Homo-oligomer: A and B are copies of this chain.
Amino acid sequence: MAEPLRVGMIGLGTVGSGVAEILCGHAERTSGRAGREVVIRRIAIRDPSKPRECEVPDAKVTTDWREVVVADDVDVVLELIGGLSPAEEIVETALKAGKPVVTANKALLCERGDRLFPLARELGTTISFEAAVAGGCPIIAAIGQAMTGNQITSLAAIVNGTSNFILTKMLDEDTSYEDAVSEAQACGYAEADPSMDVKGIDAAQKLGLLTQLAFGRRITPDQFPVQGIDELSLMDLKFADELGYAIKLLATAKLVDGKLEMHTQPTLIRHHEPLAQVSGPYNMIELTGDAVGKTWFSAMGAGQMATASAVVADLIDVAVGRAATNFPLLNLTDQPDAFPLQAVEDIERRYYFRFNVEDRPHVIADIADILGRAEISLASVIQKEVQEPDEDSPYPIVPLVFMTHRTTEGRLRSAAKGLDQLDCVRGSWLCLPIGE
């Protein structure tokens, strides 16, 4: 058997402990699959006094990550601390030492991939990041290997387990958004500050990475519409359900007439679609290829062992030489000529509008007038008799829902100004796209 692969691990938190559990607890199984032992030789931690879930025998523990990264007895660096700093420096130092890197850090790769990926290639080493997107779904491998006979034409993904957990909880248990967030925090699915998840940023970053691989374009979240689930209320989930749709935080990149259309938004998806049926903290990626047609990949998107499973698969890929074969072939450079990005204003979809309005004459006419002037054509209107008394208004407040025909994001934005100024609309109104 070949020499062992010696891992230097930066960070021994939840995922790190899971990786240690697999590598130490199933050493024989792992070495069978890697053709050699895979051992954790050094670990860098921030706080040595913190109690740890796991024991890693034979590993030297330090608080200085540099010691680990440059050590002669470390063959591969496993970056598990997340965030940009010092993760970027850690990865860069490892690459410059000629060492392959395995990471689960999608924020880093989304923000700095344009620097780190070419650097790794120049230096003849590799970055493996299956764990960075959709944990248990081998989606990086699917795009890089299984789909090589295809032009991917569409990618529609539920890649934020926290948001999906919250949306599922709200509808299944008739719970408010706020209570569902608390529940997600109690279950360990949401951070104390859940903004990255509920505002769609995490999903948009993952979409950026997948788009790079699938379409050869580097597009960052500031270039396409990103909308979180924090604007939704339970009544929206219920209206959508009645209308035959689930609402999911959907990250989409697809080719429309040769242009690349991207958005990450809560989206109405017909009940019978596989994406509509993904519940709780699960992820699903629907990948369409011009030869294979539609394919689906689903698994837990995060959590200790699902992420650890992906990390260990990446380490084994390094051990057997798959990483060295695959990494140079991934579509990691931006090719602007390949598929120009569709201008946001020209993105064309159907939309769901929900307003809380005063229940008095001419309200529907006022709203419909603004939409009509923006050339947005209505497909249906639903006014419900659910009444919420409002102390500031002489009229009861009722929800009003419109479904539109196909229209553009540009027309929507031009209508938005008018809608914001309407007296009869109370509080903020909501607009969500309808999936196709």
A-side residues, CB < 8 A to B, are: 18, 22, 26, 29-30, 33-35, 130, 135-138, 141-142, 145-151, 274, 277, 284, 289, 291-300, 305-306, 308-313, 316-317, 320-322, 325-326, 328-329
Please indicate the chain B residues that have their CB under 8 angstroms from the CB of A312 in the complex.
Answer: 148-149, 291
Chain B proximity of A42: nearest CB distance (Å)? 20
Rounded to whole angstroms, the CA-CA distance of A308 and B293 in the bound complex is 11
Rounded to whole angstroms, the CA-CA distance of A153 and B120 in the bound complex is 36
A300–B293 contact, CB under 8 A? Answer: yes
A149–B299 contact, CB under 8 A? Answer: no
Please indicate the chain B residues that have their CB under 8 angstroms from the CB of A30 in the complex.
Answer: 148-149
Most chain B C-beta atoms within 10 Å of own C-beta, residue among A18, A33, A292, A313? A292
Chain B proximity of A157: nearest CB distance (Å)? 14
A309–B150 contact, CB under 8 A? Answer: yes
A329–B148 contact, CB under 8 A? Answer: no
For this complex, 20 residue pairs linking A to B, each with C-beta atoms less than 8 Å apart, are A22-B291, A29-B151, A33-B148, A35-B328, A145-B316, A145-B317, A148-B316, A149-B309, A149-B316, A274-B274, A274-B277, A277-B277, A289-B309, A294-B300, A295-B299, A297-B297, A320-B329, A321-B325, A322-B326, A325-B325
B300–A298 contact, CB under 8 A? Answer: no
Q: A145-B138, A145-B141, A297-B297 are in contact. Are A305 and B292 (CB under 8 A)?
A: yes
Rounded to whole angstroms, the CA-CA distance of A151 and B30 in the bound complex is 10
A26–B308 contact, CB under 8 A? Answer: no
B146–A130 contact, CB under 8 A? Answer: yes
Please indicate the chain B residues that have their CB under 8 angstroms from the CB of A289 in the complex.
Answer: 309
Complex copy number for this chain = 2
Looking at chain A's contact residues, is the secondary structure mostly helix, strand, loop, or mixed?
Answer: helix
Chain B proximity of A25: nearest CB distance (Å)? 10
Rounded to whole angstroms, the CA-CA distance of A310 and B297 in the bound complex is 16
Please indicate the chain B residues that have their CB under 8 angstroms from the CB of A295 in the complex.
Answer: 136-137, 297-299
B305–A291 contact, CB under 8 A? Answer: yes
Q: A130-B146, A138-B145, A313-B149 are in contact. Are A299 and B291 (CB under 8 A)?
A: no
Chain B proximity of A48: nearest CB distance (Å)? 27
Chain B proximity of A291: nearest CB distance (Å)? 4
Which of B141, B293, B306 lies in contact with A291, CB distance below 8 A? B306
Chain B proximity of A57: nearest CB distance (Å)? 19
A291–B309 contact, CB under 8 A? Answer: yes
Chain B proximity of A200: nearest CB distance (Å)? 24
Q: Which residue of B has the minimal Cβ distance to A34?
A: B148
Please indicate the chain B residues that have their CB under 8 angstroms from the CB of A317 in the complex.
Answer: 145
A309–B325 contact, CB under 8 A? Answer: no
Please indicate the chain B residues that have their CB under 8 angstroms from the CB of A328 in the complex.
Answer: 35
Chain B proximity of A27: nearest CB distance (Å)? 12
Please indicate the chain B residues that have their CB under 8 angstroms from the CB of A316 in the complex.
Answer: 145, 148-149
Chain B proximity of A214: nearest CB distance (Å)? 12
Chain B proximity of A81: nearest CB distance (Å)? 20
Please indicate the chain B residues that have their CB under 8 angstroms from the CB of A34 in the complex.
Answer: 148
B313–A147 contact, CB under 8 A? Answer: yes
Which of B35, B136, B141, B293 lies in contact with A141, CB distance below 8 A? B141
Q: Which residue of B has the minimal Cβ distance to A317?
A: B145
Rounded to whole angstroms, the CA-CA distance of A293 and B329 in the bound complex is 30
